[in-house]
Structure 1
């Protein structure tokens, strides 16, 4: 069929199918009926929608098309509900939808239709009514990853901060082509500093500082565009030629390799959409869906001059942190799988691959950090209650050389509680070293200065 005939033919098809009782059709069904490429059909569907002759219902892989005014409920995503506890596998098991999308993306670049940013991907998303992840999967992952009981935001992440700093920094940097091994990363973090000319080391140390910002400060700030812009600043300092671009909405054209997707070059649109993305994510009740929404949309928008994907990976942890869910560290994600997941969204607005990859890697994170907490044993309830106070006391004693008695007195405790807390702080001080200083929000230089001074402890 000639392309010029598709405009009328698609409309006629929807009329015929509606008369037969099938009011909603997917893009794939329309493409098969037309015998035309899916990307071409999408272009004509967008034109029909703009002319008011067709309506789009649903979001992403659950999108369906119908005639205007038809009172039909949107179809639920066609996916099987995941089990409460899925068995971990060495690599993602692709769903039928993801496998089909992978086949479509295997078409050479020259045969794929260029496409620009489509704001309806966000505009049409209604928090707690629309879902980018299949709803059942999002609910299952939330049940698997959440921490039981009522605890302050960020409690789960603080319990696993030491492995998380390594895991997320290493995994995210490796996806950017970083040459450091995991062991190299651990050695680098123990040292705390590196040659500024070593961009790979800078990338890793930037990740560490950004994750510490997430854990220490985001529970107070919440999810805002300001937080995401500061994450970008921390991740990219020392890596951009223009320091003014840190955390700033870009004003330059960017291009992405190995895709026909062309991000928007309009700064006002980029700023508007960043605000809308964070606003909608903030209202999503399921933190796993919110994490996926941020991960997908920040990378799709490309609001910054560089570092958009790494910013999206850390931003995805904000809702998980605020709801005390296991953090997401992108453990063992392969470059090719990650690229396919992103390109599926960029070119097709299809989250099938991304959803499968996200679920697979998040379950690996859940399993690892649950085992990490179990290995630590049942915590002392008194220590758990005063964990933040202990961390603050140790940091003030080491960093500011404050007297232990003065610091303890500020908490106005009963004598028996104060005595017990003093013993715990003394114990932590005696064990303080290069292997554990991060838990007290200390920097290596501060620890070294304190050790050089003879490890002073003023009563």
Structure 2
């Protein structure tokens, strides 16, 4: 429980900040810990904060199950997006009415909406089949990459990808990874190049994992 509480605000802040949310870490803490309404921000940004925190808590409820299912992925998205009016149909894959998505900084198109259910079923099967074949950090990084390339939801895919990555790390008894906004360009670059050079993104995530382990050891 202490680990869950320690990372909640910081993971919520960093993940949202990577997507352009302007809440600071202190403002994020105020919202999550005291329920204080912060002036100068849109309701969209506030709901991104509270929604991510709900999805984060659900992630911790799930880590003992050692599985990643489509139902779990959809629930994460639903909890994140349920109060955000700009995101249609929280918890549902994109369809013909909400199929215009793109990956920040990417020159590659996302799969057509008609292929999303099949791609996601394959993704869930892949997660189950390779869990014991890859190093946990490599496994978590590859799950992030594979999911983000599918981009199954109309919006919020980056945040769900990072929650999935951290679900795997926590399930395998590793520290959750935080991607600070100062690493945003490197994160996007290695993720984009991961289509051709996947090891680059794996190494990037491994470095973030090592940082978290070192930081946590200092707190002991």
TM-score for both structures, normalised by structure 1: 0.43
Q: Paired residue for 1:263, among 107, 110, 116?
A: 110
Which of structures 1 and 2 has the larger relative contact order (alpha carbons within 8 angstroms, sep 6+)? 2
Write the distance in 1 (CA, Å) between the matches of 2:119 and 2:93. Answer: 11
Aligned to 2:91: 247
Aligned to 1:202: 47
Q: How does 1:393-404 map to 2 (within 5 A)?
A: none
Runs of 4+ in 1 over 6 A off after TM superposition: none
Is residue 281–residue 293 contact of structure 1 (8 Å, CA) maintained in 2? no
Q: Paired residue for 1:323, among 150, 156, 172?
A: 172
Report the 3-state secondary structure (helix = DSSP H, G, I; strand = E; otherwise coil) of the residue aligned with 1:166: helix
Write the distance in 2 (CA, Å) between the matches of 1:187 and 1:362. Answer: 27
1:365 aligns with 2:220: no
Q: What does the per-residue CA deviation read over 1:78-98, in whole Å, with 9 as the maximum and x for residues that have no partner?
A: xxxxxxxxxxxxxxxxxxxxx
1:277 aligns with 2:120: no
For this pair of structures, how many residues does the alignment match? Answer: 212
Q: How does 1:96-135 map to 2 (within 5 A)?
A: none
Q: Paired residue for 1:183, among 7, 26, 30?
A: 26
Report the 3-state secondary structure (helix = DSSP H, G, I; strand = E; otherwise coil) of the residue aligned with 1:306: coil
Q: Where does structure 2 lack aligned partners over 5 or more consecutive residues?
A: none
Aligned to 1:341: 190
Is residue 218–residue 227 contact of structure 1 (8 Å, CA) maintained in 2? no
Aligned to 2:200: 353
1:311 aligns with 2:160: yes
Q: Return the offset for 1:229.
A: 1.2
1:233 aligns with 2:82: no
Aligned to 1:288: 137
The 1:182–1:205 alpha-carbon spacing in structure 2 relative to 1, beyond 3 Å, is same
The structure having more radius of gyration, on CA atoms, is 1
The 1:276–1:211 alpha-carbon spacing in structure 2 relative to 1, beyond 3 Å, is same
Report the 3-state secondary structure (helix = DSSP H, G, I; strand = E; otherwise coil) of the residue aligned with 1:366: helix
Q: What does the per-residue CA deviation read over 1:212-266, in whole Å, with 9 as the maximum and x for residues that have no partner?
A: 101124424732111111111112222243542x121111132335432111113
Write the distance in 1 (CA, Å) between the matches of 2:34 and 2:65. Answer: 29
Is residue 332–residue 361 contact of structure 1 (8 Å, CA) maintained in 2? no
Write the distance in 2 (CA, Å) between the matches of 1:359 and 1:323. Answer: 14
Write the distance in 1 (CA, Å) between the matches of 2:150 and 2:49. Answer: 24
| Structure that is richer in helix per residue | 2
RMSD: 2.2
